[in-house]
Amino acid sequence: MPASKVLYSTKATATGGRDGTSKTHDGALDLKLATPKELGGAGGEGVNPEQLFAAGYAACFLGAMKAYARGKKIAVPEDAEVTATVGIGPRDDDGFGIKVEIEVSLPGVADDVADDLIAGAHHVCPYSDATRGSLEITPTRAA
């Protein structure tokens, strides 16, 4: 569901596709892009859209978990971590699809509390909401 009131907006422009550049209009981000060897590119210096999505999703999920925890008056440990693994590959219909795995580390948090925080974060995280129904994502606790 889209935001009922936009509190922040940003704009980025990509040129050259996977082997070009991508930058935000405010100049805060200016990246060289490179297609990974696994996708037929040269690899090398530069980032790719999957890396950007993984970094954004991990940060967003941790922020959502902290917001959910605040509402329940639960402290999220400072050393909490969220790792997002994003993969890309062919679909059966000749297109490409992505697969996402979310792993959450909450040191010192009881299992039942951690499970609630992870489920709550997955419910309120904008990235989870945007991908709900198009990707199967089940966040898990780190071993």
Same domain, 95 and 43: no
Q: What is the pLDDT of residue 2?
A: 77
Domain that holds residue 16: 1-47
* Shared-domain flag, residues 11 and 57: no
CA distance 100 to 119: 16
Q: Which residues, other chains included, contact 15 with Cβ-Cβ below 8 Å and sequence gap of 6+?
A: 21, 22
Which residues pair with residue 97 across a beta bridge? 89
DSSP 33: B
Q: Which two tokens stand for residue 25?
A: 């209009």
Give the model's pLDDT for residue 39.
Answer: 92
Number of domains in the chain: 2
Q: What one-letter code names the amino acid at 72?
A: K
pLDDT of residue 21: 97
pTM above 0.85, yes or no: yes
Q: Are residues 39 and 104 in the same domain?
A: no
What's the confidence (pLDDT) of residue 75?
95
Q: pLDDT in tens for each of the 143 residues of the chain? A: 778 899 999 999 999 999 999 999 999 999 999 999 999 999 889 999 999 999 999 999 999 999 999 999 999 999 999 999 999 999 888 888 999 999 999 999 999 999 999 999 999 999 999 999 888 888 999 97
Write out the DSSP string of 58-116: HHHHHHHHHHHHHHTT-PPPTT-EEEEEEEEEE-TTSSEEEEEEEEEE-TT--HHHHHH
**In CATH, what number is assigned to the domain containing residue 90?**
3.30.300.20
Indicate whether 63 and 104 sit together in one domain.
Answer: yes
Q: Verify that 121 and 88 share a domain, yes or no.
A: yes
Specify whether 75 is located in the same domain as 136. Answer: yes
Q: Give the domain-ending residue among 29, 47, 65.
A: 47
Final residue of a structural domain among 10, 25, 47: 47
* Packing angle, helices 49-71 and 111-124, rounded to 10: 120
- What pLDDT, on a 0 to 100 scale, did the predictor assign at position 62? 98
